[in-house]
Structure 1
């Protein structure tokens, strides 16, 4: 059984924390290899230095763009490229964003479904999201950013069916904040999953951010 990778997000309530650089500096020796944050509110130069620091420690890096217009999504893709980030997560799929990612060898994992607000809410039918994903796969996207636990319907059913039926890397992003949900993630077996706010809110075992990361990494392996 393959272990789903934890992406540590230096974010709280869908926004990057102000002290993200210091947080990474303090906890970069923890067991997680995947790290990322959101496109707001750090400046591009702050994002660039943080991604560069993450790369120095051999981390795979993610920028998750919580934006629903073509122009904002494209802006996010340009930021990811400028910062030397490995994978762009989020944005509503647009051809222009995908083309830009292809031109710059940036892996693209767009959202699927009907998304609104911030923190995000996901609506739409499970069948519709699976079909949408297959359409984007035919166009050559790398994978998908599935806001499973932000779904207004049956999140567990969505996660399991989507991961099973969509043959591509799927990241379950948002609101994984309990061991029960980690058990569900283990069962669904996505390529990766994100945790951000829950670490800041001390939802997992450990007295600090780093101990929780290690607790979750260990839990997913056993």
Structure 2
């Protein structure tokens, strides 16, 4: 089985960091192939430039949109298109966002469950999340942005049940901030997982580039 892929998120507390480009420059030669950030607060011109640079180094790019209504979710999808982003993560699912992504060759990985606040909190039953996901798959989404460690219930139960039930890419996003949770990620074996804030809080070492390689090596061992 393939190891889960790390998505390096240039974010802290669900907002893109101001020096995201500088950090990418210092880390572009690490093992991480997947890179992304949030839809706030960088100007679109800076977002476009950074995504372009990421792609010039062969990276797969992700925009995670922490919005829960249709209008703002659709605006996030428009930003993803303008930036030439490969994958739109987040937003509460709406048909309009799904259709926009299909029309513009963007892979769409919406949230499931009941989500509120920023940083996000996930509520709802595991059964309903799996049911939602199966419904969205029938409509052609690429995969799912699962806020497993933001869940108010049992994160491990959710992560394992959801990943086993859904035959599509699942990204465990948010609050993976220690090696114990990395072990859990390895056991769950999702398609991918994100780390953002933990890198800036030095949870996996000191320098960002060192931490990224530490995590990649740990996952691959």
Which digits, 9 at most, give the CA deviation of each residue in 1:154-192, with x for residues without a partner?
Answer: 000100010000000000000000100000000000000
Q: 2-side partners of 1:210 and 1:47: how far apart? A: 21
Runs of 4+ in 1 over 2 A off after TM superposition: none
Match of 1:102?
A: 102
The within-5 A match list for 1:6-155 is 6-155=6-155
SS at match of 1:136: helix
The 3-state SS of whatever aligns with 2:105 is: coil
Q: CA RMSD in A?
A: 0.5
Query: Paired residue for 2:173?
Result: 173
Superposition deviation, residue 94 in structure 1: 0.3
Q: Distance in 1 between matches of 2:85 and 2:123?
A: 29
Which 5+ residue runs of structure 1 have no aligned equivalent? none
d(CA) in 2 for partners of 1:142 and 1:27? 28
Q: Which residue of 2 aligns with 1:215?
A: 214
> How much has 1:207 moved relative to structure 2?
2.1
CA–CA distance in structure 2, aligned partners of residues 208 and 25 of structure 1: 13
How far the C-alpha of 1:121 sits from its partner, in A, is: 0.1
TM-score between both structures, scaled by the size of structure 1: 0.99
The aligned residue for residue 198 of structure 1 is 198
Name the SS of the counterpart of 1:61 in structure 2. strand
CA distance in 2, matches of 1:101, 1:31: 28
CA shift, 1:120, in A, is: 0.1
Deviation at 1:2, TM superposition (A): 1.2
Q: How many residues align?
A: 221
2:159 paired residue number: 159
Q: Distance in 2 between matches of 1:97 and 1:133?
A: 15
